[in-house]
Amino acid sequence: MDLEEAFLSVGEFGSYQKRAVAVLVLTQVYMACQSMLIVLVGSTPSYRLHLTDAVPSGQQDAAPSGQQVVFTEDMDSIVTEWFLVRQQAYKVSLAGSLFFAGLLVGNVVFGPLSDRIGRRPVYLTGLFFEVIFGYVTAVAPSYEVFAVSRLLVGLMNGGIGLVCFVLTQEYVGKSYWAMTGTLTSMSFAVGIALFGALGYYIRPWRSLATVANSSGVLFLLMSLTLPESPRWLYSQGQTERAEEVLRYMALRNGNPAKNLTLQRVGAAKPGRRDNRGGAGVLQLVVHPVLRLRTMVLMYVWYCCSLVYYGLTLGSGDSSGSRYVNVAMYGLVELPAYPLCIYFINKHWAGRRKSMASFLCLAGSACLCTMFIPENTGTFLSVTSLALLGKLMVSAAFNIAYVYTSELYPTVIRNAGLGVCSMSCRVGGILAPFVPSMRSLHSSLPFTVFCLSGFSAGCLGLLLPETLNGPSADTLEELNTSCRSTSSRSRVVESKALLYDADQWRSNHK
């Protein structure tokens, strides 16, 4: 039997898979706290400058000569500890960008690495070191150590986030991929909201960083019981090990499945270049089908990240309580995920049209903010439209994850997701600086978000639909699938031409 038949025998989403997916999904809460940490620990309170003869140590670079920075708001953050204001204010955005730069490198390194040596060892190693570097952030004696620790945390976060998502897909049957992918994104949104609540009750930034990072220890211990991906084992030719994992899943699901035997296919033999993670990145450039898909997906992911994180990181600068704003920008995502599950499984919408539509709606919401004056005090305000844009781009981002995993074969799925995530992190690196463009013009950030949403939505329509289509495990299967699709298209065109010819003959008799 093939893998999909094996999952039907084992149980596509049995009790054991539910527990395994729950561990991976809950880990997203920890990862969300690390991603949003700079929003609260880098908050800038109100301050004023006082003329003084002796400028205190540490403030020489923060203010003009002979002036002292005095904070008028009771707050403890890296800004108040290291006086990151005025000429030094860029360091807050720089720390956020370093985190996303780490995400970029992590995606590039960890994606192909997990395709080569396995999902489980890469995931556990990355999670272990992220916890270690997270504690370094909490005890950093200087800004420089803090900034380097954020880079290293981002490096680990980017790697394990990608592998974590792939594992939630590869532990279950294909019919549940949309649900597990949506649960992953939903848990990340819940993590943002919980981090806002955590920041409200824990104000000292070092204590907040410590508590937010400590949950990673629990998730690391829970993850030690997770098995290797049976789909990855099968794609690497390790059929016996894949059968062992599937039998273990079946046993824990209460379904022994004693006669479970996977078919041995030549495309899955070890040693084949196209089945190796190292060759995967090259195939994304060489393979004509994958090249077009990758180019389009890279731009879609870039725009999703730029708009998503740009709106979220700008929540701390919005009017009102910064803690409530952070929580709201997390909670507003939750309605997006039931919408995703509904639309992407409908034949008249599917993955492609749903993703493109949500991106265009996000751009439209950002466009409308340019015509609404700030602080109107009504329901229709810049903040409410920004929240609507966040909801729409969250839906598009979630679909992009699910859609991308279906567009790539198993042998290079992590490599494909890694390259797309790399492009995504470029958007994340730029995102902290987009809200600061408000100093040039109040509508400039939303103009950037608007154009990004519209252009990505239109470009996404170039991709093929994957709803109810077969999943490819190897490049040979992808080629076969594309040829069969092309053949079906030619048959349809031929029938249409024959029909037109018959109609013409009947009309001219």
In this structure, are residues 203 and 75 in contact, taking their beta carbons and an 8 Å threshold? yes
In this structure, are residues 387 and 332 in contact, taking their beta carbons and an 8 Å threshold? yes
State what percent of residues in the chain have pLDDT above 70: 84
Residue with more model confidence, 259 or 446:
446
Give the model's pLDDT for residue 7: 86
The residues with which 69 forms a beta bridge, in sequence order, are 49
Question: What rounded mean pLDDT belongs to the chain?
Answer: 82
Q: Which of 256, 360, 277 is nearest to 108 (CA)?
A: 277
CATH of the domain spanning 3-44+74-460: 1.20.1250.20
In this structure, are residues 119 and 167 in contact, taking their beta carbons and an 8 Å threshold? yes
In this structure, are residues 356 and 457 in contact, taking their beta carbons and an 8 Å threshold? yes
Is the confidence at residue 504, as pLDDT, over 50? no
pTM of the entire predicted model: 0.75
CA distance linking residue 172 with residue 159, whole number of Å: 21
* Ranges 200-204, 401-405, 469-473: which has the least confidence: 469-473
Residue with more model confidence, 93 or 307:
307
As a whole number, mean pLDDT of residues 157-170 equals 88
CA distance linking residue 509 with residue 491, whole number of Å: 27
Give the model's pLDDT for residue 456: 96
Q: How confident is the model at residue 377 (pLDDT cuts 50, 70, 90)?
A: low
Q: How confident is the model at residue 113 (pLDDT cuts 50, 70, 90)?
A: confident
Is the confidence at residue 489, as pLDDT, over 50? no
Return the residue matching tokens 């995967």: 280
Q: Which of 246, 282, 276, 343 is nearest to 9 (CA)?
A: 246
Residue 179 tokens read as 């649900």
Is the confidence at residue 87, as pLDDT, over 90? no
Domain boundaries, the chain: 3-44+74-460, 474-509
Give the model's pLDDT for residue 320: 64
Q: Which range, 300-304, 384-388, 436-440, is most confident?
A: 300-304
Alpha-carbon torsion angle 284, 289, 292, 293, nearest 10: -80
Paired sense of beta strands 67-71 and 47-51, if any: antiparallel
Phi, psi (rounded to 5 degrees) for 344: -70, -15
Q: How confident is the model at residue 493 (pLDDT cuts 50, 70, 90)?
A: very low
Residue with more model confidence, 164 or 316:
164
Give the model's pLDDT for residue 280: 59
Task: Please name the residues in contact with 32: beta carbons below 8 A apart, sequence gap of 6 or more.
Answer: 187, 188, 189, 190, 191, 192, 194, 195, 330
Single-letter residue type at 60: Q
CA distance linking residue 269 with residue 379, whole number of Å: 60
CA distance linking residue 293 with residue 284, whole number of Å: 9
* Ranges 45-54, 240-249, 271-280, 477-486: which has the least confidence: 271-280
Is the confidence at residue 60, as pLDDT, over 80? no
Quickly count helices (H) and strands (E) in the chain: 19, 2
3 state SS of 283: helix
Q: Which of 213, 205, 157, 155 is nearest to 39 (CA)?
A: 205
Give the model's pLDDT for residue 133: 97
Give the model's pLDDT for residue 380: 67
Q: How confident is the model at residue 481 (pLDDT cuts 50, 70, 90)?
A: low
Is the confidence at residue 334, as pLDDT, over 70? yes
Give the model's pLDDT for residue 435: 78
Is the confidence at residue 10, as pLDDT, over 90? no
Single-letter residue type at 179: M
User: pLDDT (tens digit, 9 = 90+) per residue, 335-372?
Assistant: 888 888 889 888 889 999 999 999 999 999 999 887 87
CA distance linking residue 203 with residue 193, whole number of Å: 16
Give the model's pLDDT for residue 277: 43
CA distance linking residue 438 with residue 443, whole number of Å: 7
Is the confidence at residue 494, as pLDDT, over 50? no
Please return the burial class of 507, using the count of CB atoms within 10 Å of its CB with bins 0-12, 13-18 and 19+. exposed
Is the confidence at residue 297, as pLDDT, over 60? yes
Residue with more model confidence, 218 or 426:
218
As a whole number, mean pLDDT of residues 478-505 equals 51
As a whole number, mean pLDDT of residues 139-168 equals 92
User: pLDDT (tens digit, 9 = 90+) per residue, 202-248?
Assistant: 989 999 999 999 999 999 999 999 999 998 898 888 888 988 899 88
Give the model's pLDDT for residue 134: 96
Residue 412 tokens read as 């290079």
Q: How confident is the model at residue 316 (pLDDT cuts 50, 70, 90)?
A: low
